[in-house]
Structure 1
Amino acid sequence: MDLDEGGWNIPYADKITHFIFYLVFGMLGCLFVRERTKGQMELVKASRLIFLVAVAYGIGIEVLQYTLTTDRMAEFGDVLANTFGAFVGISLVRWSFSKERPLKWKF
């Protein structure tokens, strides 16, 4: 049974989706660490932790797709999109809490 996928044909739509998901993952992850530690964990340390978690999670999902499924494909491009999205999301948080901005990392 074929499903109608609609008339939209956006090139690299899956990579864009991966990028956006991990951008949000990186931003929310940093903010989560900030809230859980009441701002006591340094921004640099929190951003490195979340970046490593995001990259490991992205690679883990791709490995699971490769090993456990028959109808899904693991793609290196997805890992790159995930990594770049997490990097951009974390960079946005770091920029938001930079010394030039009014937001403060510590409570």
Structure 2
Amino acid sequence: MPKQIYFLAVLLWAGVIAFSCLVQLNNVPLGDVSNLDKLVHVFFHFVLTMLCFLFFQKQANAVNSLKPIIVSFLVSVFFGIGIEIAQELLTATRHADVFDVLANLSGAILGVAFIILLDLKTKFR
């Protein structure tokens, strides 16, 4: 796939995250799952890390380099921190939450672990 497709996917997913985190969603029925919003944060940043990795790997043309993994992780984590700051400073209905940042970090870590496991699996085939 061309790298522009991956870049577009990253931008669209980042837009979904930003919209979901900055708009008031009190009327959305979420069920009775405890801490569901934290699981959503984990999922958001797992996917963001994966999409960023696909883009940066294609960008660097590096199959076995750690750089795309590290950059993808950092983009996801700092984007999540930026969203939390924006919630606190730019919205009246949302507030920054350190546990959201930890959930974002967890999602990014899971994304990196998944990338590494896939890489190991393909090396041992």
Whether the TM-score (by the shorter chain) exceeds 0.5 is: yes
Residue 102 of structure 1 aligns with an amino acid whose one-letter code is T
Alignment root-mean-square deviation, CA: 2.2
For residues 8-59 of structure 1, what are the alpha-carbon distances to aligned partners after superposition, in whole Å with 9 as ceiling and x for unaligned?
21110100000011111111211111122222671x1111111111111100
Structure-2 residue corresponding to 1:22: 45
- Indicate how the Cα distance of structure 1 residues 54 and 17 shifts in structure 2: closer, same or farther if over 3 A, else same: same
Tell me: higher relative CO, structure 1 or 2? Use CA pairs within 8 A at least 6 residues apart: 1
Structure-1 residue corresponding to 2:29: 5
TM-score by length of 2: 0.70
Checking the alignment, whether the CA contact within 8 Å between 2:85 and 2:96 is kept in structure 1 is yes
Checking the alignment, whether the CA contact within 8 Å between 1:34 and 1:41 is kept in structure 2 is no
Could you tell me which runs of 5 or more consecutive residues in structure 1 were left unpaired when the two chains were aligned: none
Number of equivalent positions: 99
- Indicate how the Cα distance of structure 1 residues 14 and 4 shifts in structure 2: closer, same or farther if over 3 A, else same: closer
TM-score by length of 1: 0.81
